[in-house]
Amino acid sequence: MKTILATLVAAASLAAVTAAASAAGTHEGEHYAFGEPGRAESVTQTVLVDAVDENGEMRFVHEPLTIKQGDVVKFVVTNRGEMPHEFSIGDSPSQRAHALMMEKMPDMKHENDATAITLDPGETKELVWAFTKPIKGQIELACQMPGHYAAGMVSKAKMVK
Ligand SMILES: [Cu+2]
């Protein structure tokens, strides 16, 4: 009985991961679990973010983040590293699913993805996100270039009341 239950649980969690990965894989959904694309005129706070990769250590550098539900945040991201980086918004479950998918499809591009921007070295780009929904887990700002998320290129923040 124990074995059957364990198998069922494993099958169920695999199905959940697969569903999350394929949902993110389309990159076309207008429905995100963690908010929606924001409008420039509604911005409530601006956060400056540096993407760095000194000595092989890849990370995002920014002031501590405090985000409340309803905030519209403009992220101004500058790639100060020597390799291309990505800056994507998500919650913990979506970023984990995205990282798993990138391992399987490393060439995936995000041109039409409202949750992500890609930056060449020296580039600065903006992304405005409206945190209209309660967050599952934490807010995660992540680079989804293959291997970068696993190497620690992720910055987490809790949504405050
Ligand atoms: Cu990166």
Rounded distance from Cα 109 to ligand 1 centre (Å): 14
Q: What is the pLDDT along the chain (161 residues), one digit of tens a residue?
A: 444 444 444 444 444 444 444 444 444 455 899 999 999 999 999 999 999 998 879 999 999 999 999 999 999 999 999 999 999 999 999 999 988 888 888 887 777 789 999 999 999 999 999 999 999 899 999 999 988 998 999 999 989 88
Give the span between the Cα atoms of 20 and 13, in whole angstroms.
11
| Rounded distance from Cα 1 to ligand 1 centre (Å) | 45
Q: How many domains does the chain have?
A: 1
Q: What is the pTM of this model?
A: 0.79
Q: Report the CATH number at residue 49.
A: 2.60.40.420
Distance (Å) from CA 69 to ligand 1 centroid: 27
**Buried-exposed string 97-119: b where 16+ CB fall within 10 A, e elsewhere:** bbbebbeeeeeeebeebbbbbbb
Beta bridge partners of 23: none
Distance 78 CA to ligand 1 centre (A): 12
Domain that holds residue 140: 2-160
Q: How far is the CA of 160 from the centre of ligand 1 (A)?
A: 27
Q: 114 is written with which tokens? A: 């409202």
Give distance in angstroms: CA of 2 to centre of ligand 1.
42
H helix count then E strand count, the chain: 2, 11
- Residues 115, 90 contacting (CB under 8 angstroms): yes
